[in-house]
Chains A and B, each alone.
Chain A
């Protein structure tokens, strides 16, 4: 799966989760850029990503995801791009 495809799918997940069709993710997008993105929403994103990409993250990985780019890196590592 190409990085762009993952990005696209991730964008969809974010829009759904925050019910906001304006969201355009970039590598450096982080919780500072999206108002509602707190730790409780973080878990919802993780659950949705795990479900959509059929992957599982461990505690260290989730804690290390500081922005969208790092999320994509972890996903690529799991699904093997």
Chain B
């Protein structure tokens, strides 16, 4: 990573040194991924390509470019040149601007005419995108439209259908709808970026009339930076986590010196409010699947007391790794990356102290250590870097990450308890154990077909068979669902008992390996015994059929207090008498059962 290409960058320096920068990238022997980028322009694209190239290199992407002829974005999409047809692009960037809009409304236009023009404009772009999808099937990045530089109707321009502001806003909304419906379509929000930059500067007409640039040449690095962020995100080059300092980063003051009661945090003071907002900003990233860790020079007890401060938005549970000690920060940083199983350069180091940033960026090549400025600037200086630019965000991704975080937290929790029972209690587990219910039938059938290790009989069932058994009075069925303080594990355990002549033959007993060693099997047995007792069953009969994968439950019934009746290579059979001697085995899970 070249520091000069991270936000806040010096656009003029980048522009005038672009050739030197490019050379220095090419001299490094980085592991670049190679991508082919097509730029279809409604304006001059020369500098856009050159600067985009640099920002992509900085994200580990070596791009080759195809540039359309000046202004020919529409023609080249619909009637590709031979060269473009052969280029085999990986991504398109359509660089258009409000000067490319076919017809802005006139005051004399009827509302119908305006609607017609708007529909035609939408159709024009849609025809470009659909054609590109069908010809190349790769992602498309499309500029939306910046606001007009002047407003004929003044403030009414935004609300009146004749206003350019109104018209462009509606066009942008149409682009957004298309993006919502197409997963490979991404908007480069130049409407926001130009506002952020300053529309008057961004749209300085000098650059359009002199060289047909859609924007001020000085703003091109800002644009290219954003386009590069979208492209690197598409190709999986986003950052994955924050590594955060504490003192003067997540709160004001030095907790070891000032004491937890005197740190600046919370609604009472203006300084405290700033840190609260910053903590909220950081915390919001958890929902996006971003992993948080602490790297702080502090005694651990002080660090934790700060995070447990009543006004702390972040709590110790929000972090996967907390390294509060007196080791060098780069050492902690590497250990954090190692234990998260992430590359160091995929983590962003946030520290108010330039010396600490320097040591981390100096010792660990490729790590981003943004210059976060003063406390009230932390958010903008991190946010504008686009570390976590979102392109593909599926519900599955979010869940997978949550699960990952939960597991890391569970194993961390485990490490700090001397007694395993104490650890289990700390998980605050609660289970629901009931007869099969209609809403879970699909999950139950899936479990019987997927579980191999903790599975005594490895009997597979279809959903139809599961549903039949569920309403057959000759069967006892039980599903177990387990929650703990870190989250809901869902349905993780199943039992099916076939009742024949007063004996319950356990045809199926399985459990997901996600919840091994949590005493869930004890809770299941307790409930199975209880069910049997209630209907006068006097014996449980367990069967173990060995497979290549289920050796872990070979002695399961023995461990649960069953006695072995018979054993050969194909099976072992176990028995448990149900009498008043049986005492519940589960001591750590609170169980909800049927009334």
Residues of A within 8 A of B (CB): 13, 16-19, 39-40, 42-44, 46-48, 51, 58-59, 62
Residue in A19, A44, A62 whose CB lies within 8 Å of B15: A44
- Residues of A near B218 (CB, < 8 A) are 47, 51
User: Is A43 a contact partner of B19 (Cβ separation < 8 A)?
Assistant: no
Residues of B within 8 A of A (CB): 12, 15-17, 19-20, 23, 44, 46-47, 206-207, 209-211, 213, 217-218
Task: Report how far A28 CA is from B16 CA in the complex, Å.
Answer: 23
Residue in A13, A39, A42, A62 whose CB lies within 8 Å of B16: A13
Residue in B15, B47, B207 whose CB lies within 8 Å of A48: B15
User: Is B20 a contact partner of A43 (Cβ separation < 8 A)?
Assistant: no
User: Is B210 a contact partner of A51 (Cβ separation < 8 A)?
Assistant: no
User: Is A40 a contact partner of B211 (Cβ separation < 8 A)?
Assistant: yes
Task: Report how far A48 CA is from B17 CA in the complex, Å.
Answer: 10
Task: Report how far A60 CA is from B211 CA in the complex, Å.
Answer: 13
Q: Known: A16-B17, A39-B211, A40-B46. Contact between A47 and B217, CB under 8 A?
A: yes
Q: Known: A16-B20, A19-B23, A48-B16. Contact between A62 and B210, CB under 8 A?
A: yes
- Residues of A near B12 (CB, < 8 A) are 47-48, 51
User: Is B16 a contact partner of A17 (Cβ separation < 8 A)?
Assistant: yes
From DSSP, what is the main secondary structure of chain B's interface residues? helix
Across the two chains, which residue of chain A brings its CB closest to B46?
A: A40
Query: Nearest chain A CB to B67's CB is how many angstroms away?
Result: 12
Task: Report how far A47 CA is from B11 CA in the complex, Å.
Answer: 11
Query: Nearest chain A CB to B298's CB is how many angstroms away?
Result: 44
User: Is B206 a contact partner of A59 (Cβ separation < 8 A)?
Assistant: yes
Most buried by A among B12, B16, B213, B218: B16
- Residues of B near A58 (CB, < 8 A) are 206
Residue in A16, A40, A47, A59 whose CB lies within 8 Å of B44: A40
A-B contact pairs, 27 of them (CB 8 A): A13-B16, A16-B16, A16-B20, A17-B19, A18-B19, A19-B20, A19-B23, A40-B44, A40-B46, A40-B47, A40-B211, A43-B47, A43-B207, A43-B210, A43-B211, A43-B217, A44-B15, A44-B47, A46-B210, A47-B16, A47-B217, A48-B12, A48-B15, A48-B16, A51-B16, A59-B210, A62-B210
Q: Known: A19-B20, A40-B44. Contact between A47 and B211, CB under 8 A?
A: no
User: Is A44 a contact partner of B23 (Cβ separation < 8 A)?
Assistant: no
- Residues of B near A39 (CB, < 8 A) are 211
User: Is B23 a contact partner of A47 (Cβ separation < 8 A)?
Assistant: no
Query: Nearest chain B CB to A11's CB is how many angstroms away?
Result: 13
Query: Nearest chain A CB to B74's CB is how many angstroms away?
Result: 22
Query: Nearest chain A CB to B513's CB is how many angstroms away?
Result: 59
Across the two chains, which residue of chain B brings its CB closest to A41?
A: B46
- Residues of A near B207 (CB, < 8 A) are 43
Task: Report how far A3 CA is from B103 CA in the complex, Å.
Answer: 49
Task: Report how far A23 CA is from B206 CA in the complex, Å.
Answer: 28
- Residues of B near A48 (CB, < 8 A) are 12, 15-16
Query: Nearest chain B CB to A37's CB is how many angstroms away?
Result: 14
Task: Report how far A46 CA is from B17 CA in the complex, Å.
Answer: 14
- Residues of B near A40 (CB, < 8 A) are 44, 46-47, 211
User: Is B217 a contact partner of A59 (Cβ separation < 8 A)?
Assistant: no
Q: Known: A48-B12, A48-B16, A51-B12. Contact between A43 and B213, CB under 8 A?
A: yes
Task: Report how far A16 CA is from B19 CA in the complex, Å.
Answer: 8
Query: Nearest chain A CB to B70's CB is how many angstroms away?
Result: 11
Task: Report how far A46 CA is from B207 CA in the complex, Å.
Answer: 11
- Residues of A near B20 (CB, < 8 A) are 16, 19
User: Is B19 a contact partner of A44 (Cβ separation < 8 A)?
Assistant: no
Query: Nearest chain A CB to B215's CB is how many angstroms away?
Result: 12
Task: Report how far A43 CA is from B204 CA in the complex, Å.
Answer: 14
Query: Nearest chain A CB to B524's CB is how many angstroms away?
Result: 72
- Residues of B near A59 (CB, < 8 A) are 206, 209-210
